[in-house]
């Protein structure tokens, strides 16, 4: 069979094999980017499914409209308006089959071969892969603890000029580093990009997983009259991923372009999982649920940090995430996290080596370690093993 040219870029099977790895029952896996199944509000979910299957089963088992279930789009608009002081209507919301689909459709909508996409560095592997498929050149923009570096971003925009079609960013507790952009950086970013005819995809998958009460406002709340901002939200991290319910918020004319593609890529998202989500939002308190899970995740982060401080050599550096799902750790330069993973897997511990998260030239000494999806016992056991293996590896 003769494949499309783009398949040449699809060789990194890492995310795929990691998803399979995380399935093995005897592995302590810090590899996934998953919420903890124990945290699912199963009684409420069960009840919502039952109610939907009692009162709206014909609609729930048929095709949804392409844009998604109307009531759910209203609820999402209302919730964003309340949280961020926006004025969205349900016409500005499109339901997607997980936010991964939003990333893929954005590539389909915007990217021609040899266009340039700018990324924070490191960035989400699934976005790099999805967008690479449209044969863009992926360009890394240096990033520090406050977010993407504005002078470097300007440099890239001015260097690549109209070749730049899209900037992909995750301002809140990003995957993989859990970094959160400062207010000043957000403002400077918005001030800069308004002068360029370039789209910005704001991936907010982790934004509600904050360990503090105050949260930074999303980029879209700084104003979107020119339609430049495309916001992707998801219930996969705050609720559960098995429903595949996420959304795009964008100006109405942009949503209309997405709609043309949505009917191409899967006609519509599952009606029953959308209606379950909608029923849940109308009858239960998702904010209360999110408070509950973030307090669990914060506790797990603390346990993980404690084991790290005790068991890992001092030459290993890492951040203290204020939200999200990951600790980002770096081995000393010259050491390879893939080699460490090979050794860890032999002792039934998994994480993601950082190299795959770089859009351009990769650093190979980083690792992404998930703390949300393991019990405190698993964290203590797994991280103690990983600490020992790391010590042994660094002493070689």
| Residue ranges in 348-377 that form contacts with a second copy under rule CB under 8 A | none
Nearest Cα neighbor of 94 from 224, 222, 221, 274 is 274
CA distance 328 to 311: 16
CA distance 18 to 27: 12
HEC states along 363-389? CCCEEEEECCCCCHHHHHHHHHHHHHH
Q: Give the one residue of 112, 151, 158, 191 binding a second copy; rule: CB under 8 A.
A: 112
DSSP bridge partners of 95: 247
The nearest distance, CB 252 to a second copy, in angstroms, is: 13
CA distance 180 to 361: 23
> How many amino acids of this chain bind a second copy (CB under 8 A)?
80
Using the rule CB under 8 A, give the single segment among 97-105, 181-189, 203-211, 342-350 that binds a second copy: 97-105
Q: Do 276 and 226 meet the contact criterion of CB atoms below 8 Å apart?
A: no
Is residue 10 a contact point for a second copy (CB under 8 A)?
yes
136 versus 386: smaller Cβ distance to a second copy: 136
Q: Give the one residue of 27, 109, 322, 394 binding a second copy; rule: CB under 8 A.
A: 109
CA distance 65 to 81: 23
Q: Give the one residue of 51, 91, 217, 265 binding a second copy; rule: CB under 8 A.
A: 265
> What would the two tokens of residue 364 be?
């190979």
Q: Give the one residue of 119, 134, 297, 351 binding a second copy; rule: CB under 8 A.
A: 134
The nearest distance, CB 198 to a second copy, in angstroms, is: 8
How many residues comprise the chain? 396
What one-character DSSP code corresponds to residue 194? T
Q: Give the one residue of 29, 273, 278, 365 binding a second copy; rule: CB under 8 A.
A: 273
Is residue 281 a contact point for a second copy (CB under 8 A)?
no
CA distance 119 to 99: 17
The nearest distance, CB 268 to a second copy, in angstroms, is: 7
Q: Give the one residue of 89, 263, 295, 317 binding a second copy; rule: CB under 8 A.
A: 263
The nearest distance, CB 333 to a second copy, in angstroms, is: 31
The nearest distance, CB 378 to a second copy, in angstroms, is: 15
Alpha helix (H) residue ranges in the chain: 14-21, 42-55, 57-60, 70-84, 99-110, 125-132, 150-160, 183-193, 252-265, 271-283, 286-311, 337-346, 376-395
Using the rule CB under 8 A, give the single segment among 258-266, 331-339, 348-356, 361-369 that binds a second copy: 258-266
CA distance 83 to 286: 13
Q: List binders of a second copy among 190-219 (CB under 8 A).
A: 197, 199
Angle at 288 between CA 285 and CA 293, to 5 degrees: 125
Using the rule CB under 8 A, give the single segment among 75-83, 92-100, 176-184, 216-224 that binds a second copy: 92-100
Q: List binders of a second copy among 152-171 (CB under 8 A).
A: 162, 165
Is residue 144 a contact point for a second copy (CB under 8 A)?
no
61 versus 320: smaller Cβ distance to a second copy: 61
Q: Give the one residue of 104, 120, 202, 366 binding a second copy; rule: CB under 8 A.
A: 104
Alpha helix (H) residue ranges in 85-233: 99-110, 125-132, 150-160, 183-193
Is residue 283 a contact point for a second copy (CB under 8 A)?
no
Is residue 24 a contact point for a second copy (CB under 8 A)?
no
Nearest Cα neighbor of 374 from 390, 351, 345, 341 is 351
Q: Give the one residue of 268, 278, 294, 356 binding a second copy; rule: CB under 8 A.
A: 268
Interaction mask 46-85, a second copy, x per CB under 8 A:
x--xx--xx--xxxxxxxxxx-------------------
């Amino acid at each position: 069979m003769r494949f499309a040219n783009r398949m040449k870029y699809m060789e990194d099977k890492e995310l795929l094999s990691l998803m399979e790895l995380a399935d093995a029952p005897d592995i302590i896996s810090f590899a996934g980017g998953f919420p903890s199944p124990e945290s699912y509000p199963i009684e409420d979910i069960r009840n919502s499914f039952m109610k939907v299957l009692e009162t709206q089963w014909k609609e729930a088992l048929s095709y949804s409209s392409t844009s998604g279930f109307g009531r759910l789009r209203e609820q999402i608009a209302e919730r964003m308006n309340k949280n961020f002081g926006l004025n969205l209507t349900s016409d500005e919301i499109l339901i997607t089959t997980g936010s991964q689909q939003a990333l893929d459709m954005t590539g389909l909508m915007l990217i021609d071969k040899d266009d340039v996409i700018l990324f924070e560095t490191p960035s989400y592997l699934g976005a790099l892969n999805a967008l690479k498929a449209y044969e863009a050149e992926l360009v890394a923009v240096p990033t520090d603890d406050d977010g993407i570096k504005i002078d470097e971003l300007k440099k890239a925009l001015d260097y690549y000029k109209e070749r730049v079609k899209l900037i992909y960013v995750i301002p809140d507790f990003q995957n993989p580093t859990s970094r959160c952009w400062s207010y000043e950086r957000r403002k400077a970013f918005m001030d800069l990009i308004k002068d360029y005819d370039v789209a910005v995809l704001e991936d907010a998958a982790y934004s509600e997983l904050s360990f503090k009460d105050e949260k930074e406002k999303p980029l879209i709340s700084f104003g979107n009259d020119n339609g430049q901002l495309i916001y992707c939200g998801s219930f996969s991290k705050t609720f559960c991923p098995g429903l595949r319910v996420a959304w795009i918020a964008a100006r109405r004319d942009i949503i209309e372009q997405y709609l043309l593609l949505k009917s191409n890529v899967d006609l519509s998202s599952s009606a029953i999982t959308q209606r379950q989500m909608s029923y849940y939002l109308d009858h239960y308190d998702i904010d209360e649920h999110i408070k509950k899970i973030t307090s669990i995740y914060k506790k797990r982060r603390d346990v993980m940090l404690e084991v790290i401080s005790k068991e890992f050599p001092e030459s290993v550096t890492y951040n203290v995430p204020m939200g999200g799902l990951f600790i980002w750790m770096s081995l000393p330069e010259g050491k390879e996290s893939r080699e460490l993973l090979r050794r860890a897997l032999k002792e039934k511990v998994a994480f993601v080596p950082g190299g795959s998260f770089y859009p351009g030239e990769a650093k190979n000494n980083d690792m992404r370690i998930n703390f949300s999806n393991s019990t405190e016992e698993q964290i203590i056991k797994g991280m103690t093993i990983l600490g020992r293996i790391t010590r042994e590896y660094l002493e070689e």
